[in-house]
Amino acid sequence: TDLVIQPLLYFCFSPRNTTWSGTFFGREVSNAGTRKSPHCRHPLSLAIQKHPHFRALFNLSTPVLLSGGLFARELWDSLSQYKAPYGWQGLSFQAINSTLSLLNDSESSKLFAASGKPLPNCVRCAVVGNGGILNGSRQGLNIDAHDYVFRLNGAVIKGFEKDVGTKTSFYGFTVNTMKNSLISYGNLGFTSVPQGQDLRYIFIPSDIRDYVMLRSAILGVPVPEGPDRGDRFLKSKLMNTNFGDLYMPSTGALMLLTALHTCDQVSAYGFITSNYWKFSDHYFERIKKPLIFYVNHDLSLEATLWKDLHKAGILRLYQR
Ligand SMILES: *[C@@H]1O[C@H](CO)[C@@H](O)[C@H](O)[C@H]1NC(C)=O
Ligand SMILES: *[C@@H]1O[C@H](CO)[C@@H](O)[C@H](O)[C@H]1NC(C)=O
Ligand SMILES: *[C@@H]1O[C@H](CO)[C@@H](O)[C@H](O)[C@H]1NC(C)=O
Ligand SMILES: *[C@@H]1O[C@H](CO)[C@@H](O)[C@H](O)[C@H]1NC(C)=O
């Protein structure tokens, strides 16, 4: 199979706080055993520990990936109280269990396990958003110099190598954002989901639809039901779309938070900055388009969070 499925990614932000700026914590993949940050000169975990505000918001020992081995009645009871992507409210126990039981090997619970290569002592990650700030940035070599490169949604590479690099270790998406990217940015060069030997997909389930899709992808069979019926996930030209069930935070935010929970150092490229209005919405557009603030995301909040994490030395935000 040409499809390497990476476990469900799952984040839990404070459900009490609709703006998710409050407590947030990952749930699952324990990188606790693999984190060897003592070898890093400036591990982000240290910057978090030293910070009076962020110290209380991160818990780096909670795993971020969800895999079959973690599924139990107790987990269901606690997570079914919260709506996607924070939890499983409105989803069926059976559907969750039958999908998760397919992700029941040790590979599925570790973000960096797949390649079989030894983990660097200091895991340096670049998370590449698709912001217009990258157009003309010449950051390609800097991005590729990281141990792992995360990309997401309509990550166009061809023709933009000098600005965004070529390496892709992880591609993150929700069914919605991936499908919408293929439809909206196909004519700008995003004609297929990134493929590659060492590449792993980070799947962010936001709906029951996503669990059904994931199951079909793992089994290599067409999707049996719902709006995506008949799709051979990640293989066909995907035409269906459904704009109704997008959610916040943005996929970029989820990828960046994943990296923060698993890497020792994180650089963010192509993420919203305070001077976003100077740049096009995406780096691959041919004509400048203003950044769109969709109602389902809170980009202003995200911008503030990235800036504050940058100031705190927890991540490095590319700005110009
Ligand atoms: C952090 O997460 C771990 C694992 O889920 C948990 O045992 C621990 O109590 C959490 N720590 C705090 C301060 O919440
Ligand atoms: C999940 O499904 C498997 C296989 O059908 C079953 O053995 C297991 O008990 C189920 N898990 C729970 C928590 O019910
Ligand atoms: C996953 O595997 C473990 C150990 O092999 C087993 O105990 C557990 O029931 C499995 N979980 C599911 C959801 O199949
Ligand atoms: C990308 O950068 C080039 C060179 O700086 C500029 O001419 C062009 O207008 C930019 N494209 C967009 C969509 O902003």
Instruction: Give the pLDDT confidence of 66-101 residue by residue, as tens digits.
Output: 766 777 888 788 778 766 666 777 888 888 888 777
pTM above 0.85, yes or no: no
Ligand nearest to the CA of 69: 3
Q: What pLDDT is attached to residue 55?
A: 80
Flag whether pLDDT at 279 surpasses 50.
Answer: yes
Mean pLDDT estimate for the chain = 74
Q: What percent of the chain has pLDDT over 90?
A: 28
Rounded distance between C-alpha atoms, residue 10 and residue 204, angstroms: 7
Q: What pLDDT is attached to residue 250?
A: 77
Q: What pLDDT is attached to residue 15?
A: 30
Q: What pLDDT is attached to residue 18?
A: 29
Strand-pair partners of 150: 127, 170
Nearest residue (by CA) to ligand 4, atom 14, is: 288
**Strand 200-203 to 265-269 pairing:** unpaired
Place of tokens 């890497």: 263
Q: Is 80 exposed, middle or buried (0-12, 13-18, 19+ CB in 10 A)?
A: middle
Q: Identify whether the C-beta of residue 55 lies closer than 8 Å to the C-beta of residue 41.
A: no
97, 102, 103: which to mutate for ligand 2, most atoms within 8 A of CB? 97
Q: Identify whether the C-beta of residue 216 lies closer than 8 Å to the C-beta of residue 246.
A: no
Strand-pair partners of 65: 9
Helix, strand, or coil (residue 282): strand
In the reported structure, the alpha carbon of residue 160 is separated from the centroid of ligand 4 by a whole-number distance in angstroms of: 12
Q: Which residues line ligand 2 (CB under 6 A)?
A: 71-73, 97, 101
Cβ 61 under 6 angstroms from ligand 1: yes
Please tell me whether the peptide bond between 85 and the residue prior to it is cis, using omega within 30 degrees of 0. Answer: yes
Cβ 92 under 6 angstroms from ligand 1: no
Q: What pLDDT is attached to residue 253?
A: 83
Cβ 135 under 6 angstroms from ligand 1: no
Phi, psi at 202, each rounded to 5°: -110, 115
Rg (CA), the chain: 18
Rounded distance between C-alpha atoms, residue 210 and residue 219, angstroms: 14
